[in-house]
């Protein structure tokens, strides 16, 4: 920080805590943002365990490490695209419509990956 360090006063924290409980809207916003981060981390971590079953179902994935790497890295690539367009979507359409669109895309991706006939469909999903 410029001008030296600044210690947070205990009263500032107490005031923030009291305000958040007095207005449940703030708590719902914080909870929904936290759950979004939790789900992203969970998806990123779970794909490595799911890769074991994907390799059993598709022998081409078991033989080609670049295919395994592509499948795992597509979650991060999707996050990059979402971050790039998320702010623009929020400004243009609003938060509510943007969240609904993201949820619909997530559902479509999950359905595509559940009905996958080939490894390249997992990458698209």
> Would you give the distance in Å from CA 99 to the centre of its chain?
12
Q: Please give the model's pTM, rounded to 2 decimal places.
A: 0.60
Give tens-digit pLDDT for 6-45.
666 777 778 877 877 788 887 787 787 788 788 878 877 8
CB contact set of 44 (below 8 Å; sequence gap of 6+) = 75, 76
**Domain segments of the chain: what residues?**
40-124
Give tens-digit pLDDT for 76-89.
888 888 888 888 99
């Amino acid at each position: 920080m410029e001008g030296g360090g600044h210690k947070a006063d205990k009263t500032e924290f107490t005031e923030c805590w009291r305000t958040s409980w007095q207005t449940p809207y703030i708590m719902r916003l914080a909870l929904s943002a936290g759950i979004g981060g939790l789900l992203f981390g969970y998806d990123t971590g779970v794909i490595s365990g799911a890769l074991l079953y994907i390799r059993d179902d598709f022998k081409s994935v078991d033989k080609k490490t670049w295919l395994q790497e592509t499948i795992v890295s597509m979650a991060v690539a999707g996050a990059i695209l979402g971050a790039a367009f998320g702010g623009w979507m929020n400004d243009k359409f609003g938060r509510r419509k943007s969240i609904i669109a993201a949820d619909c895309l997530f559902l479509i991706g999950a359905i595509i990956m559940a009905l996958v006939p080939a490894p390249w469909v997992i990458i698209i999903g």
